[in-house]
Every structure is written in structure tokens, then in C-alpha cells.
Chains A and B, each alone.
Chain A
Amino acid sequence: MSARRVCLAFAAAIAVASMPFASRAADPQEIVIGSILPLTGPSAQTGAGLRTAQTLAADLVNGHVSYPLPMVGKSGLPHLGHARIKLVFADSQGKPDQARAAAEQLITQEHAVALIGTYASSTTATASQVAERYGIPFLNPDSSAPSLTARGLKWFFRTTPNDATFAENFYQFFADLNRTKKIAVKKVAVVGEDGLFGTGAGDAEEEIGKRRGFTIVTRVAYPATTTEVNAEVQKVKAAAPDVVMMASYAPDALLFMRGFKDQGILLQGILAQDAGFIDPGFVKTEGKDAEGVFTREVFSLDIKHRNKAVPLIDQLFRLRFGDKPLDGNTARDIMGVLVLADAIDRAGSTKPDAIRTALQNTNIPGILTLMPWKQIKFDAQGQNVGGVGIIEQIQDGKYETVWPFDVAVKAPIWPMPAWKR
């Protein structure tokens, strides 16, 4: 191939890449919501589920089958002449700079009236800043870093509880145990991987624990890619805690479980921030040793006792997503789309200011959601004040909801059983 031909081929490639693709001018009957998700990259699997969940939610809003959920089954948005909502997706690749570019593209080229996304806290941080610059409402249904709502952004709203709430829930659980069963927990060890997830969760657990008068006997951080945790486990043993709070992915969760057992550490409870401890392989690998482990969750199908829509939405979701059940991430994203649709409808307008005001006035009772929440209502920082998590415990190899007590299906077993030899 001669140099000239290489040049020509290269120029042609660039020309093709930059060609304007079929323009998608918004139909007057369609209201575009831009959604940013990790559709490729390490979180692509999760991103695919969230995409399916959001699409399902949009179809529920546009459809006419009614469920006890906000904005579902009214054939679009009644206050806007039954206009349909249309989700336009963009890929964040899980990277902050790509998320920023995606937000910009959705606002300027797709003319999205609001944005939703982006799952990872780091990508939410950059995408929401773009929305802030352009004055476009941004609804975040699924990022848990507490700092996101502490930035004083005017256009940022978050429905999900954050890591601080989850930590708060753990300590509230101890308080409730103390109140009902006279169980006293005092010494807490905080263990977590050293990434965004473990650091954020650990910081919240440490800070709130101290504030509530608990003793944080040790704080252990380790790289999630580690292959042995002997030193870390010894550190925990030396500190002799009543309970250990864990933020780990699947391989390291297993390493710590084995370490605790091998070194015969006596614990009243292991309280995990889901992740590795709700991995499908966890109970399978640990068997009897997994018994009694607590984990926080944001959602459980046990909520069906409170909202009859849960099993039905779960069925619809399974039909679309290869028989995988609705989980915390997908349920939160369905709610996110519904909350946004509700606000746009109440705004009766696609003007950003009107939508923002409507979001500020959001007041949805918890019983009308798929979640264990008390309600959906935003504070001045855009954080949903009604958000709570769930605590599950592995009993007979199954995850059973044990807290809050009004959603619980089983009583907690405390202390957790001793290690089987």
C-alpha cells in the first residue's frame, strides 16, 4: 500500500466517523430524557441491567396498564397532552471524562430536558457538573458517595440513600437490638477495600459510629486485588471487636471469611455493605460458614408485602432481562425514571426551571415505591430525606430481610453462629 493510499484510507475513515448520523429531531409528542450509564467497561454488565430497567420504566409511563407506582399507566404525561417520554442513552464507559462528554452531548445535541444516571459516583460527579453549567435537572438514582449532595449544586437530585444512610442504618439496627433485646454492641472494626467504594463506606461508618458513641477499635484498608489478608485479619483479631463492618468485593470477601474462621475470631456479627457478600457465589462457596452474615441492601423482593406492584414489575423485568430478578440497582433506576416523569408532568412544561421546581416539590409516599423508603422528598441539597436501606441476614442459605422491622420477614439471629470446625 502506498503512502498516498494510506492517507486516503485514513481520511476516509475520519470522514465516516464524523459524518452526521441520522438526525433525531425530537418529536413534539416526545420528551427526551438523557440517560448516562456504564454500557461498556468493567461495569457493563450492571449498565445493561440499568438500561433495561430504565427502558421498562419509560414503557410503563407511556403505557396504559396501571400499578400502584407514580406516573405508571397514564399513557404518557397527562399534563403535557399525554406526551411520551423517550430515553436517549449515552455510554460513560465508567470514566469521569467520558461521562462529562456524554452529558454534554445529550444536552446540546439530543436536547434532553433532564438527565438521569450514572451509577458510579465518580462519573456522576462530572456529568452532574455539566448539567449544573447548562442549568438542566439531573436525577441520580443510584450513586452512593455522600459527597455528591454536599457540593451545593442547584440542579442535582438524588433519590437513593447514600453511604452515610447505610452506615446510619447499621447503628440504628444496633440501637433497635438494644431496645428490643437488650443486646449491647460497643466495639466496631471497620474493614474495606481501598477504592472509592470501601473508602466512602468506611469513612461514613467511622464518622457516624464515633458520633453515636461507639468505639472504632480499628480501621483496615486493603487493595481489592489482594490475594492474601493474613496481616489484616490479625489486625482485626488484635483489636477484638464485637462486630466487623465490611466493604469488600467477592474474592476479598471470601479471603476475609476464611481468615476470620482460620484464626478463630469470635464475632457477634459481620455487617457487610452488599457487593461481595451478595455475590451469587458467596453462599455457594461459604456454605454453612455464611450463616448469620448481615448485609445491607437497598431493595428486597420481600417489599411485596408492602407494595403489590413489586412482584409484577419483577416479572416484567425478568421477561426483558434473561430471567434475572429485579435487584437494588435496577429497582432504584426504575424509580428514578418514574420520579423524573412525575416531576416533568407536574411541571406541565419542559422548561428546566419548571422541572426543577417540580422536583423540589416532590412528595411521594414510600408505599407507592418499589423501595423500603419512607417517602421521596428532597432536602435543600437535593438528597432524598426518606431513603432507608434494608438489612438482610443469611439464614439457611437464603438472604432474609431482618431490618427495618416493619419490612422484615425473619427475626435476626444474634450473635451470629460460631465457626463450624
Chain B
Amino acid sequence: MRPHLIALAAIAAAGLVLAYAVRDAVVLDLVFTLLLYATLGQSWNWISGYGGNISFGHAIFFGCGAYTSALCVVHGISPWLAIPAGAAVAALLAAITGFPTLALRGHYFSIATIAVAAIVDALVRTQGWLGRANGFELPIAAGWASMQFADKGWYVVLALVLFVAVQCATLALERSRLGYYLRALRANHQAAASVGIDERRWKLIAFAWSAAMAACAGVLYAQYTLFVDPPSTIALSVSIDIALIGVVGGIGTLWGPAAGALVYVVLAKAVALKLGGTGKGYDLVIYGAIICVIAALRPHGIVGTIVDGIRRRRGAAAQPPARLAAEGAA
């Protein structure tokens, strides 16, 4: 546990220094995006990595946060209130949708999440008070009360706080009863049920937490981008991005989503900024090739591969992988 906390503290310190010292908007933008996607990936990891129910609809929870934030601003309510409100709405939505779907096995759960996301998407597009397809353009403001800052450093600080909080929560998850149950259910749900683990109950709890964390990221996104509409928040493509981050980094590991976000943001976004102007899509080719290589050669993701390597060196293959994943990455 301690090495992880030290690593987190180091990241937090480095992030704070960066937010204070760096004035390059592009670098700060990358750091913010990196932290945001790492948080989103980790929230996905709770239900899909530890719980083993691969979700392709996670963007709707992200969207819950973003839309709550937008609605708050439009109605003159402080966006800070959107953090608890958005998280609560997302958790409720997760509970409602998870109750019938979490019992589905394998691909069926994934298909169900796609269906739920499509329903939410269609709903948002037809509801006037949700802005329909037009979405919301949030007015420019400044200051803490409106959660908007001319200085990007503050956004990085907020994203950092959220990221550290989510990492700590995940660290706690790994040591908690919920975490052990989830991993037991993932490994063999029949064996887990035979010792009295209530699958639906524990997975619902994990799903609700997962959704709430994604919603917090959504609030931050809305206040940063100042534009919320269905394609940029709740669309299937956003859900796939979130899932890819988890898979590329290594599912069911503490540092997997962060590693995945590093690939996604640094390679996809940075290369897009440098090479995107050519209009030849080199950035997408490079990003796609990296995903293919990782998927073909290292299906456990980046962190999973590192963990495997350490395990082989120690000759301790018998130990449970998730625990090692936690230790190995530190």
C-alpha cells in the first residue's frame, strides 16, 4: 500500500508544480485531459476491470455530470453543486440500469450497456429542457464561484484532486471486502456464489460508485470545455474511448487506466496537434497502430504486461494477479 501512496503523492506534487510553474496552455491542456481521462478510465475499471462486466455505455455517466453542470449554470446555480448532484443522478441511473443488466453474462452485458446508452442518447435529443441536439453553450465567466478560470493551472489542480481521490478510492477498493468480492465474482461467479457472495448487490454498489466518479469528471469537463452536446459527451464513441483507455492500460489494475490515458492523450492528442494540420490522419494511423500492437502482443495492457514480467522474474506465478498488479506497478 505504501509504495502506491508515495507514487500518488509524487504525482500530486509534480502536478501542483506543473500547474504553478508551466504557463504553456497546450501543455496544461494535455495534463488536464490526461488526468480527466485517467479518472474516467479508472471509474470504468471499477465495474469492468475489477467486476469483469465490460461496459460500453460509460459515457452516459460522464454525460450525467456534464449535463447536470450545464443545467446548473443555465439556471443560475453554482456548478459546484453539480458535483454531488451529478454524481447522485449518475449513481441512480447506474442502479436503475444495472439492476436488470448486471446479471447478464459476458457479451450480453456489453450489448445491454450499448442499448441503454442509445436510449439515453435518443432521450436527450428529444427533450427540450436537455437542449436536444443543440446542447448547451455555457457562458464565459471567471472565478471560483462559477468554476471557471482564466488560468488553466486551476483546472489542472481540480483534475488532480479528482484523480488522486479516485486513485485513493481504488486503492481502498483493492483492500476492501467489495474489492475482494468483485475479483472473486470476476474469476468464477459460481464459486463466489457458493460461498454466499451476493453478485447483484456488490456489483450494483461498484457500478453506482463507478458512475458517480465518471459524473464528477463530467462536471469538470463541462466547466472546462464550456460546451455540452450529445456527440461530445454521451455518444458511443466516447464510451469506446473510455473503455479503450482501460483496456490499453491494463484492466483490473490500479495504474492501468492512468497508463492507458497516457497513451491515449499523449499519443492521440499531442500527435494530433503536431501532425493533425496535414489533414492526412497520420495521428490516427499512429494511434490505431499502437492499439493494434498492444492488443495483438500484450492483451493484458501495459500495466498487465509489466506485472507479468515482474511476476515471472520473481517466479511467483501462483499468486493472485490483481494483488501483484497493485504491487508491481508502484
Contact = CB atoms under 8 A, between A and B. Distances in A.
Interface string A83-95: 0000011110101
A14 B226 contact: no
Instruction: Say whether chain B's binding surface is mostly helix, strand, loop, or mixed.
Output: helix
B140 A194 contact: no
B276 A17 contact: no
Nearest to B30: A101
A138 to B, nearest CB: 13
Contacts of B327: none
A285 interface: no
A133 B150 CA distance: 7
A102 interface: yes
Contacts of A147: 134, 137
Contact of A194 (B125, B284, B308): B125
Interface stretch (A1-9, A58-66, A205-213, A355-363): A1-9
B231 interface: yes
A18 B276 contact: no
A104 B26 contact: yes
Interface residues of B, number: 49
A195 B133 contact: yes
A98 interface: yes
Interface string B257-296: 0000010001101111110111101011000001000000
Contacts of A153: 140
Contacts of A315: none
A79 interface: no
B3 to A, nearest CB: 17
Give the interface size bracket for A toward B. 35 or more
A90 B133 contact: no
A178 interface: no
A105 B232 CA distance: 20
A97 B221 CA distance: 9
B284 A3 contact: no
Interface stretch (A43-51, A69-77, A287-295, A375-383): A43-51
Contacts of A133: 140, 150
A199 interface: yes
A95 B273 CA distance: 13
Given A17-B266, A97-B225, A91 B272 contact: yes
Given A122-B135, A194-B133, A14 B266 contact: yes
Contacts of A405: none
Contact of A44 (B232, B273, B281): B281
A108 interface: yes
Interface stretch (B91-99, B107-115, B298-306): B298-306
A91 B134 contact: no
A402 interface: no
Interface in A1-48: 1-4, 6-7, 10, 13-14, 17-18, 21, 37, 39-40, 44, 47-48
Interface of B: 24-26, 29, 33, 122, 125-126, 132-135, 137, 139-140, 150, 221, 225-227, 229, 231-232, 262, 266-267, 269-274, 276-279, 281, 283-284, 290, 297-298, 302, 305-306, 308-310, 313
18 contacts: A3-B306, A13-B267, A14-B267, A40-B279, A47-B279, A48-B279, A51-B279, A90-B273, A93-B272, A93-B276, A97-B33, A108-B26, A122-B232, A133-B150, A147-B134, A151-B139, A194-B132, A196-B134
